[in-house]
Amino acid sequence: MIRVTRFNAMSNRNASAAIAALFIFAASHAGAQASYPAKAIRYVVPFPAGGPLDIVARAIGQDLNKAWSQPVIIDNRPGAGGNIGAEVVARSPADGYTILMGAVSTHAINPTLYSKIAYDPIKDFAPITLITSVPNVLVVHPSVPVKTVKDLIALAKSKPGQLNFASGSTGSAGHLAGELFNSMAGVQMTHIPYKGAAPAVIDLIAGQVSLMFDNLASALPNIKASRVRAVAVTTLKRSPLVPDLPTISESGLRGFDVSTWFGIFAPAGTPPEVVIKLNAEVVRILHTSEMRERLATLGAEPVGNKPEEFAAFVKSEIPKYAKVIKASGAKVD
């Protein structure tokens, strides 16, 4: 009996200690959520200042600063198609004080396009939320006798290899949209890469190239001025900026979907309560009238989904672009 009593006493003490430890753990995590953020947040943008990602990141940063009374410092780390900035965040402490404005390039395209990258787009990040998905638009030079997707397919089949399409760089959304079009339509259009979208657009307007899958926001002025002719948008849904313009998917290439998306990531291992707090505040910001108007100037609409939904989206994007990249033979060393 004495032995049994001692055993029960020890068991009770162990149980009490375990319960106390659980309370301490829960209290510490609740405290972390309540106190976050207690200092400045570094918001890494892996592209140069002035671009769409930078513009939106700065707007979100300003609103986070107002909501939390803590500085949000934009840190532009361009290079290697966004890989440099993404690696910085992947290697940062997982405490919520360094976040990334990731994009289709950093998390869906580059893992296949580049021979080697120094991070894993899935294992090294905690997705926060998808900010937006910006459509591209298929535009042709006015001299090209094409008004519909079916027209373009017919023309390309009659002139294999003779039609060329421009893009801002190898592996860009515009490039891969063209390669996906080639694959799905069974045509052979020739890719002409440029060092940036601006010189590509200049040559398109001049008639040096036949067509381009351009960013919708930047293409709109040229469309309105009749310098180029819009044929279709590259996303599954029509854009509210050009509601009368059909999608490529509804025009015959069912399922065609290419967009320039971007969203927020934290380093893997960031406490779940911090992820939840970041998600809730950014989603709130995205659906303010001011942010909706700002995104509309980029041809975009806010998304603001849950972390698990964003994670599933990223996982689905990687194999989609891997297939296109491998089929096109595109590679960056």
**Percent above pLDDT 70 for the chain:** 90
**Please, which pLDDT band fits residue 187 given cuts at 50, 70 and 90?**
very high
Within 10 angstroms of residue 245's Cβ, the number of other Cβ atoms is 17
Question: Which band of pLDDT confidence, cut at 50, 70 and 90, is reported for residue 13?
Answer: low
Mean pLDDT over 150-173 rounds to 94
Q: What is the DSSP annotation of 140-154?
A: E-TTS--SSHHHHHH
Task: Out of 40-44, 45-49, 168-172, 258-262, pick the least confident.
Answer: 168-172
The yes-or-no verdict on residue 194 having pLDDT over 60 is yes
pLDDT at 234: 96
Q: How many CB atoms lie within 10 A of CB 78?
A: 15
Q: Is the pTM of this model over 0.95?
A: no
**What is the model's pLDDT at position 16?**
52
- Report the SS3 class of residue 6: helix
Please write the tens of the pLDDT for every residue from 238-253. 998 899 999 999 999 9
State the pLDDT confidence band at 14, using cuts at 50, 70 and 90.
low
* pLDDT score recorded for residue 298: 81
Neighbouring residues of 85: CB distance < 8 A, sequence distance ≥ 6? 44, 45, 46, 47, 75, 76, 77, 78, 79, 100, 106
DSSP structure string for 179-248 = HHHHHHHT--PEEEE-SSHHHHHHHHHHTSSSEEEEEHHHHHHHHHTTSSEEEEESSSSPPTTSTTSPBT
Asked if residue 88 has pLDDT above 50, the reply is yes
Instruction: List Cβ neighbours of 205 (8 Å cut-off, separation of 6 or more).
Output: 141, 222, 227, 228
For residue range 93-137, what is the model confidence (pLDDT) as tens digits? 999 999 999 999 999 999 999 999 999 999 999 999 999 988 899
pLDDT of 89: 98
Residue 222 pLDDT > 80, yes or no? Answer: yes
Domains defined for the chain, CATH in brackets: 41-134+259-328 (3.40.190.150)
User: Rounded mean pLDDT of the chain?
Assistant: 90
Mean pLDDT value across residues 162-182: 93
pLDDT, tens digit (0-9, with 9 covering 90-100), for 17-66? 544 444 444 444 444 456 999 999 999 999 989 888 899 999 999 999 99
Residue 15: pLDDT over 60: no
- pLDDT score for 34: 64
State yes or no: pLDDT of 331 exceeds 60.
yes
Predicted confidence (pLDDT) at residue 197 exceeds the cutoff of 50: yes
The two structure tokens encoding residue 311 = 């994670």
Who has greater pLDDT, 301 or 159?
159
What pLDDT score does 224 carry? 94
Angstrom distances, CA of residue 199 to CA of 79, 173, 204, 212: 19, 16, 9, 12
Which pLDDT belongs to residue 301?
A: 86
Q: What is the pLDDT of residue 126?
A: 98
| 212, 167 Cβ separation under 8 angstroms | yes
Is residue 252 classed as helix, strand or coil in its secondary structure?
coil
Q: Which residue has the higher pLDDT, 215 or 269?
A: 269
CB 19, CB 59: distance < 8 Å = no
* Phi then psi dihedrals of residue 82, to 5 deg: 100, -5
